[in-house]
A = this chain, B = another copy of it.
Amino acid sequence: MATPMRDYILSVASDLFSRQGINATSVDAIVAKADIAKVTLYKYFKSKEQLIIEYLREYDARLWARLTEITAQQKDAVSRLYALVNGMLDWIGDPEFKGFAFINASVEFPQRDDPVHQSSLEFARTFRQMLTESAREAGLKNPDALALQLALVIEGAAITERMQRGTGAVENAKALAKTLIDAAS
Contact = CB atoms under 8 A, between A and B. Distances in A.
Interface of A: 19-21, 23-24, 98-99, 103-104, 106-111, 120-121, 124-125, 145, 148-149, 151-157, 159-160, 162-164, 167-169, 172-173, 175-176, 179-180, 183
A172 B145 contact: yes
A133 to B, nearest CB: 16
A145 B20 CA distance: 31
Nearest to A148: B172
Contacts of A124: 163-164
A4 B159 CA distance: 36
Given A21-B109, A24-B23, A152 B169 contact: yes
Given A23-B24, A152-B172, A154-B156, A108 B108 contact: yes
A122 B168 CA distance: 18
A108 B107 contact: yes
A174 to B, nearest CB: 11
A21 B108 contact: yes
A174 B15 CA distance: 37
Given A110-B19, A152-B176, A176-B152, A145 B159 contact: no
A17 B172 CA distance: 32
Contact of A110 (B98, B156, B168, B183): B98
Contacts of A164: 121, 124-125
A152 B173 CA distance: 8
Contacts of A175: 149
A105 to B, nearest CB: 9
**Which 10 residue pairs spanning A and B have beta carbons closest together?**
A156-B156, A152-B156, A107-B107, A23-B23, A155-B156, A155-B159, A21-B110, A149-B172, A148-B172, A104-B107
